[in-house]
Structure 1
Amino acid sequence: MGLLSDDKEYVDGIKEATFWTFDVGDGNVGELNDGCVLVDLPPSIIDPMLDNPIASIVHEVYPNLEKRFNDPSYFTERVILSTINEVMWKLNGYVCSLFPREEHVYLSADSISLVSQGNDSFEQLYLPEFLNSINSSSLPPHRLVLKVGMPVMLLHNIDQSAGLCNGTRLVICHLGMYAIQAKALSTSNKDDMVVIH
């Protein structure tokens, strides 16, 4: 495997990070492993922007985003995935802050559907503040902030026949009060305009 960089310092850093990673995996770094171990990173592989890891990740994956945000093809070549919702929302918030457009905030509905007429115990038990605080991978967030030009990824199947499936990537073209118009980036319907309610 060859490296594409002629920068000796960069190549040496990659080598050191690779060997260090193998040592960690082999149990040669850190304390005795009882399931939870603290491991010190060597200074040579610490990113100088590590005081802000979210910014570091975004600027590594999306270099020059401030200059290329109008180019949809720029977003088809890169994506940041996270297995933890909290990290994903921080990443999304930071990327959103880099877009020089007006933000639109969408809020979820915050009321309980009553099972039977006259039963108000659900409303007393589940206050809107509690409902709005629920953070689950199976539910959308209470507060969703979007801007025109932002890339987004669908997390649920909406319309499989139209190619709007979990994992479909889109770029936002228009934000309305009750619907979002977007252009497909990653499906067989690439560049098709879709409306999501």
Structure 2
Amino acid sequence: MCLKQGESDSESEELKKLAKWVLDIGNGQVSPPRVCNLPLNENQILIPSQFCGVQNENTVDNMIFSTYPNFSHEGHNTQYLSERSILTPTNQTVGHLNSLIIDKLPRESVSYFSVDAAEEFGGIYKDLNEAFPIEYLNFLNIDGMPPHDLKLKVGAVVMLMRNLNQTLGL
């Protein structure tokens, strides 16, 4: 699903309808779809065709291009970026999309790697690497933490989030 600022009154009205539909889903006011008079899983949602871009092939590249049509020239412009977003259900999907979008920026990427160590281990030190192998630590994807291999380019916009509870000492 992608959202961008409406460029006309009719587009703005469609975006308002989409926003209301998304809120209705969040509030539990949209019933699961029925196929052949059988209800589907309660976690499944039928997206109305008016919100689907069925005129184009459904690919990730088309979704990125339709959301960020002038990305190669405007990708550094915070106003341009703040008017568009791609909504995804998981952080894993966010990471994948961010990687694809960063690849579209000019220049070489630089990789920043996480530290390969675990702390506060309850066992003896020689068992530490067996309990937490480097491959395992590199595979972890924890909310609020960057991935093991964070690729960035000069000009990429980065949003830093602070944990308010940690800031307040809670």
TM-score range, shorter chain: 0.5 to 0.7
Moved over 6 A (4+): none
Determine if the alignment matches structure 1 residue 59 to structure 2 residue 65.
yes
The corresponding residue for 2:8 is: 4
Deviations for 1:94-146, whole angstroms, at most 9, x for unmatched residues? 11011011101000001223658962112221110011001121432111011
For residue 110 of structure 2, the aligned residue among 104, 125, 132 is 104
SS in 2 for 1:153: coil
Cα shift at 1:89: 0.7
Could you tell me how far apart the structure 2 residues matched to 1:122 and 1:143 are? Answer: 22
Of 36-45 and 127-136, deviating more is 36-45
After superposition, the CA RMSD in angstroms is 3.9
TM-superposed CA distance for 1:156, in Å, is 2.6
Aligned length: 145
Are the aligned partners of 1:110 and 1:131 in contact in 2 as well (CA < 8 Å)? yes
- In structure 2, the CA distance between the partners of 1:80 and 1:27, relative to structure 1 (3 Å rule), is closer
Report the counterpart of residue 56 of structure 2 in structure 1: 48
Q: Match of 2:4?
A: none
**Residue number in structure 2 paired with 1:176:** none
The answer to whether residue 115 in structure 2 is matched with residue 113 in structure 1 is: no
CA contact (8 A) 1:30 1:39 kept: no
Question: Structure 1: which amino acid aligns with 2:35?
Answer: G
The equivalent residue for 1:30 is: 35
* Post-superposition offset of 1:74: 2.0
Identity of aligned residues (%): 24
TM-score (norm 2): 0.64
For structure 1, which runs of at least 5 residues remain unmatched after alignment? 161-197
| Between structures 1 and 2, the one with greater helix share | 2
1:36 Cα offset (Å): 5.4
Deviation at 1:90, TM superposition (A): 1.2
Cα deviation digits, residues 25-71 of structure 1 (max 9, x gap): 45665242252558597699425130x2x323322221211122343
Distance 2:77 2:45 in 1: 42
Larger relative strand fraction:
1
